[in-house]
Structure 1
Amino acid sequence: MLLNVPARYKPTIKVPKGMLLSAIIAIPLLSYVPLHMTAIDYGESFQLGYIAMMKSILLDLQIGKAWLWTALGAAGLAIIVGVPVFAKDRHMPKVALMLTLLLTFWLGYGSHVASLDAINGLIVHTGHFTAVAIWLGILFIVSWFAKDDLNWHAFLRWFSPLAVICVVIALIAGITLMTYTTPQYSNALMLNYGQLMLLKHAALIPLLWLAFSNGFLYPRYARSSSMPSQRTLLRVESVIALLVLGFTAIMGQTAPPHNVVETLRTETPSQLFTAIYQGSFSPDLQLVWSFNSSNLLLLAAALLVLYAITIAFKHRSISWMISLSIVAVAIVYFAVMFGLEAKESDITALVLYTK
Structure 2
Amino acid sequence: MDIIVIISQALLYLCFSILAGSFLLLLVPSSYRPNIKIPKYLLLISAIILPVFAFFPVLDSILFIAPRLGLLESFKIVLTTYTVGTAWDFTLIGSVLLVLLISLARPKEKDTFAFLGTVLTFGLILTVAWSSHAGAMEPITGIISHFIHLTAASIWVGVVLIVGWCAINHNNWLKFLSWFSKIAIGCLTATAISGILLTNVMVDGYTDSWMVSYGQGLLIKHLFLLPLVFYALLNGLIVKYKVSKDITFNPIPWVRVEGLILFVIFTITAIFSQQSPPHGNYLTNDAVSPLFRLFHDVIIDSSNTIGFTVNLNIVYFFFLCISLVGLIILSIYKKASIMITFLLSCLFVMSIYFMLMISVVIS
Normalising by the residue count of structure 2, what TM-score does the alignment of the two structures yield? 0.86
CA contact (8 A) 1:9 1:155 kept: yes
User: Residues 142 and 284 (structure 1 numbering): CA distance in 2 closer, same or farther, change over 3 Å?
Assistant: same
Partner of 2:46: 23
1:237 to 244, 258, 283: 258
Q: Which has the higher contact order (CA 8 A, sep 6+)?
A: 2
Partner of 1:41: 64
Unaligned residue ranges in structure 2 (runs of 5+): 1-23
Q: Which amino acid aligns with 2:159?
A: I
Are 1:337 and 2:357 matched, yes or no?
yes
- Three-state SS of the structure 1 residue aligned to 2:69 is coil
Partner of 2:330: 311
Using the TM superposition, give the Cα deviation of residue 88 of structure 1 relative to its aligned residue in structure 2, in angstroms: 5.3
Structure 2 Cα separation of the partners of residues 254 and 273 of structure 1? 15
Using the TM superposition, give the Cα deviation of residue 268 of structure 1 relative to its aligned residue in structure 2, in angstroms: 4.2
CA contact (8 A) 2:308 2:361 kept: yes
Partner of 1:175: 196
Q: Which amino acid aligns with 1:339?
A: S
Structure 2 Cα separation of the partners of residues 179 and 88 of structure 1? 47
1:248-259 mapped onto 2 (5 Å cutoff): 248-259=269-280
CA contact (8 A) 1:80 1:87 kept: no
User: Residues 191 and 197 (structure 1 numbering): CA distance in 2 closer, same or farther, change over 3 Å?
Assistant: same
Using the TM superposition, give the Cα deviation of residue 227 of structure 1 relative to its aligned residue in structure 2, in angstroms: 7.2
Partner of 2:8: none
Structure 2 Cα separation of the partners of residues 102 and 9 of structure 1? 27
Structure 2 Cα separation of the partners of residues 172 and 240 of structure 1? 20
Partner of 1:281: 299
Q: Which amino acid aligns with 1:15?
A: I
CA contact (8 A) 2:309 2:361 kept: no
2:224 to 195, 203, 226: 203
User: Residues 88 and 219 (structure 1 numbering): CA distance in 2 closer, same or farther, change over 3 Å?
Assistant: closer
CA contact (8 A) 2:177 2:240 kept: no
Using the TM superposition, give the Cα deviation of residue 229 of structure 1 relative to its aligned residue in structure 2, in angstroms: 0.9
Structure 1 Cα separation of the partners of residues 340 and 242 of structure 2? 18
Partner of 1:350: none
- How far does the alpha carbon of each residue in 1:161-218 deviate from its partner, in whole angstroms, 9 at most, with x for none? 1111111110111122111112232332222222222221222211111111111122
- Cα RMSD (Å): 2.1
User: Residues 245 and 42 (structure 1 numbering): CA distance in 2 closer, same or farther, change over 3 Å?
Assistant: same
Structure 2 Cα separation of the partners of residues 198 and 64 of structure 1? 30
CA contact (8 A) 2:34 2:169 kept: yes
Partner of 2:342: 322
Partner of 1:262: 282
Partner of 1:351: none
Structure 1 Cα separation of the partners of residues 256 and 115 of structure 2? 27
1:183-198 mapped onto 2 (5 Å cutoff): 183-198=204-219
CA contact (8 A) 2:321 2:348 kept: yes
Normalising by the residue count of structure 1, what TM-score does the alignment of the two structures yield? 0.88
- Three-state SS of the structure 2 residue aligned to 1:302 is helix
CA contact (8 A) 1:131 1:166 kept: yes
- How far does the alpha carbon of each residue in 1:79-136 deviate from its partner, in whole angstroms, 9 at most, with x for none? 11123x5565342221111111111222222211111222111211111111111111
Partner of 1:353: none
Structure 2 Cα separation of the partners of residues 212 and 130 of structure 1? 21
Are 1:128 and 2:149 matched, yes or no?
yes
- How far does the alpha carbon of each residue in 1:23-51 deviate from its partner, in whole angstroms, 9 at most, with x for none? 1112110110001111111333xx21122
- Three-state SS of the structure 1 residue aligned to 2:207 is helix
Structure 2 Cα separation of the partners of residues 324 and 225 of structure 1? 27
Structure 2 Cα separation of the partners of residues 313 and 291 of structure 1? 34
User: Residues 25 and 263 (structure 1 numbering): CA distance in 2 closer, same or farther, change over 3 Å?
Assistant: farther
Structure 2 Cα separation of the partners of residues 337 and 227 of structure 1? 44
CA contact (8 A) 2:157 2:263 kept: no
Structure 2 Cα separation of the partners of residues 138 and 16 of structure 1? 15
Using the TM superposition, give the Cα deviation of residue 224 of structure 1 relative to its aligned residue in structure 2, in angstroms: 6.0
